[in-house]
Amino acid sequence: MQALQILIDGFAISCLYALGAIGFTLMFGVSGVLNLSHGAIMVVAAVIAWWMGASLAVDPYTGALAGVAASLVCSFFTYRVIVRPIQTSSAIPREEKEIFVLTGTLLWGIMLQEAVSYVFTNNPKTVRPLVNGVVSLVGIRTPWNELVTAGVSLAAIGCLYLLVNRTRTGKSLLAASMNPRGLTLLGFELTRIYVLVWAIYGVLTGIAGVLLGAFLGVSSDNAGTLTASAFSIVVLGGLGSVSGSLIAAFVVGYLETLTAYLVAPSIRTVPVLLLLVAVVYVRPQGLLGRR
Amino acid sequence: MFRSRTFLLVVPALVVMALLPLGVGGYILGLLTLAYYYAVFAMSWDLLFGFAGEVNFGPTFLIGVGAYAAALLNHYQHWPIVACLAAGSVAAVVAGVVLAVPALRLTGPYFGLVTLVAVLLLQNILVLFAGITGGEIGLDLPDVLAIDDTTNYYYALTFMTVSGAVLFGLTCSPVGLILQASGQNAIEAAALGFNVTKHKLAAFCISAFFSGLAGGMLIFYLGTASVGTVVDIAVGVNVIIAAVLGGRRTIIGAALGSIFLIAAGELLRPLGQLSTFVVSAVALVVILFFPGGFLGRLLHTEGSE
């Protein structure tokens, strides 16, 4: 009985983690940017969806769309105002661009977080779920919301898979992650590809944020933790490897759920951190990473 | 040229700082005391990042280990402060070596993540063993450095000056140059016959020593050791921002950045919750438009950038 419960809960949380981390890893794979404002953007999406539902009393679908739109806006803003100026700046030496992007996005994440906490307070908020009610799944009472979370996450990941592997635009993304210079020689505009990546990133992160808000609830204080968990999943799977991140998300999701159910909820993140350290020591490129 | 200009800037500033207790009240002295300890955190971080080229996302791992080792010994064993500080520094150096082992194998984001995880683990351990460590609330210390504001201020100022001088002297020395070379291009530095591993390990130990010692001094100044003041990621983020803001690879800039951050946080206090927002925005603007930081322009005008 408990095994089934763990299986179902772990599955939902793992799908959500996968969705949350996949935009992050795509971004790194294609444009080499580690966006440390990731968690804050998720929080913005969730809080906007919550606010639309709670204050403007719109239906959950409109609220969710508004949340995703907010995430998209944040994503473009991050690119245009912070990442791009640093990448094109001539005053910053090439080998230090990485740390500047990290510091810049970190600061931007703090700004977003503080802005959210100023306008909407830092109380935990739960987005109204898309579907209410409970369903009995092989004898386990499971909220519909949990299944919707898993379903939407998987659907979004599936769409990304089709986009990247089946469309011309998607294939150019893949090519940019392998050899950006080769792509420019073929006449592709790299900037347009980067803008596209940030758009995809914004949508994925927005969906993840809204689902998270409906499933577990968020507070502006969570932004740092969310970034850290996305970062851990991505490194565990191998930086830039989308399938690695998927596997890693399931490893982390189930490990956390198992710890929470079988040991104690208070130490749910500890085994993950230990595993992460071990993997990074033994296999620095992550599970499926290429160096 | 580089040296003389630096000294022309630093010496008058230190004189002014030493004379400050004559003119300002206890509250401002208290703030500056805090800022000086932060300055040592940031300078130690700059040694690792600016010179050894290691991106340490978790400066508070070293700070926290030093601070908590000192705090536990003082709280349970009632060791005198000096012995606690010494033990704390040793513990921090051990932590530095632990951190250096992956650093010698991993690069860039991977090492960054390990340092981040180290902080999270330390924080989890401290909270899990709350019965011993005091958890989120903190561990109160029977001893404090001094009760008097002015004495505390001079302790902090002296400590910052000495640490700054040692770290700055180190970076100007041949050892510092080798370190800088290994940070920028480890293979070339090794090809020139320098022992990169040895120098990086030394950088980690030195950085850890000063971080741990400063962490210990800070908690003996505050009278309590808590996760929020010496371990939390937010503290580490502030240290990094201070160092980058003041100008990386300058050591002294890191100190300037810390004092600026604390002062700005205080001046903006009337804004309430928005003060962090404004400080981050200012730091972001500096990073975007003056990537060299406050001191970058001043010190690196001779084409060394």
Query: In a structure prediction context, what are the per-residue pLDDT tens digits for chain B, which is 305 residues long?
Result: 455 677 777 888 888 898 888 888 888 999 999 999 999 999 999 998 888 888 888 899 999 999 999 999 999 999 999 999 999 999 999 999 988 887 777 777 778 878 888 888 898 889 888 888 888 788 888 888 888 889 999 999 999 999 999 999 998 899 888 988 888 888 888 899 988 888 889 999 999 999 999 999 999 999 999 998 899 888 888 898 899 888 888 888 899 999 999 998 888 888 877 888 888 898 898 888 888 888 766 655 444 43
Measured distance CA(B154)–CA(B95) in Å, rounded: 29
Nearest to A269 among B108, B124, B240 (CB): B124
Measured distance CA(A5)–CA(B222) in Å, rounded: 47
A47 in a domain, yes or no?
Answer: yes
A231 in a domain, yes or no?
Answer: yes
Per DSSP, B148 falls in state S
Nearest to A284 among B105, B116, B237 (CB): B105
What residues are paired with A142 via a beta bridge?
A: A135
Q: CA of A187 to nearest chain B CA: how many angstroms apart?
A: 30
pLDDT, chain A, mean: 89
Contact assessment for residue A200 and residue A70, using Cβ atoms and an 8 Å cutoff: no
Split into its structural domains, chain A has a count of 1
Q: Do B273 and A277 touch (CB under 8 A)?
A: no
pLDDT digits (tens, 9 = 90+) for A147-171: 999 999 999 999 999 998 899 988 8
pLDDT of the residue at B300: 54
What residues are paired with A137 via a beta bridge?
A: A140
Contacts of B11 (CB under 8 A, 6+ apart): none
pLDDT digits (tens, 9 = 90+) for B41-52: 999 999 988 888
pLDDT digits (tens, 9 = 90+) for A161-205: 999 889 998 889 888 888 888 888 998 888 899 999 999 999 999
The identity of residue A63, as a single letter, is: G
The domain in which residue A193 lies consists of: 2-282
A137 backbone dihedrals φ, ψ, rounded to 5° = -110, 110
CB-neighbour burial class of residue A57 (10 A; exposed 0-12, middle 13-18, buried 19+): exposed
Q: Do A118 and B277 touch (CB under 8 A)?
A: yes
Helix axes A38-54, A2-31, angle to 10 degrees: 120
Q: Which two tokens stand for residue A187?
A: 């006449």
- Please tell me if residue A114 touches chain B, with a CB cutoff of 8 Å: yes
Q: CA of A91 to nearest chain B CA: how many angstroms apart?
A: 7
SS3 A275: helix
A287 in a domain, yes or no?
Answer: no
Q: What is the pLDDT along chain A (291 residues), one digit of tens a residue?
A: 788 888 888 999 999 999 999 999 899 888 888 899 999 999 999 999 999 988 888 888 999 999 999 999 999 999 999 999 998 888 888 777 887 888 899 889 999 999 999 999 888 999 888 888 888 877 778 888 889 999 999 999 999 999 988 999 888 988 888 888 888 899 888 889 999 999 999 999 999 999 999 998 899 888 888 888 888 898 888 877 888 899 999 999 999 899 988 888 888 888 888 888 888 778 777 777 664
Q: Which residue has the tokens 């620095």?
A: A284
The identity of residue A184, as a single letter, is: T
Please state, as a whole number, how many other Cβ atoms lie within 10 Å of the Cβ of residue A157.
20
Q: Do B113 and A108 touch (CB under 8 A)?
A: no
Q: CA of B168 to nearest chain A CA: how many angstroms apart?
A: 21
Query: Domain B2-299: which CATH class?
Result: mainly alpha
A99 in a domain, yes or no?
Answer: yes
Contact assessment for residue A42 and residue A57, using Cβ atoms and an 8 Å cutoff: no
Contact assessment for residue A183 and residue A190, using Cβ atoms and an 8 Å cutoff: yes
pLDDT digits (tens, 9 = 90+) for B143-196: 888 888 899 999 999 999 999 999 999 988 998 889 888 888 888 888 999 888
Q: Do A114 and B280 touch (CB under 8 A)?
A: yes
A and B: number of Cβ contacts within 8 A: 106
Residues 12-71, chain B, touching A (beta carbon < 8 A): 49, 55
pTM (predicted TM-score): 0.87
Nearest to A110 among B55, B184, B276 (CB): B276
- Please tell me if residue B288 touches chain A, with a CB cutoff of 8 Å: yes
Contact assessment for residue A247 and residue A235, using Cβ atoms and an 8 Å cutoff: no
Measured distance CA(B122)–CA(B127) in Å, rounded: 9
CATH of the domain at A133: 1.10.3470
Q: Which two tokens stand for residue A210?
A: 């809204």
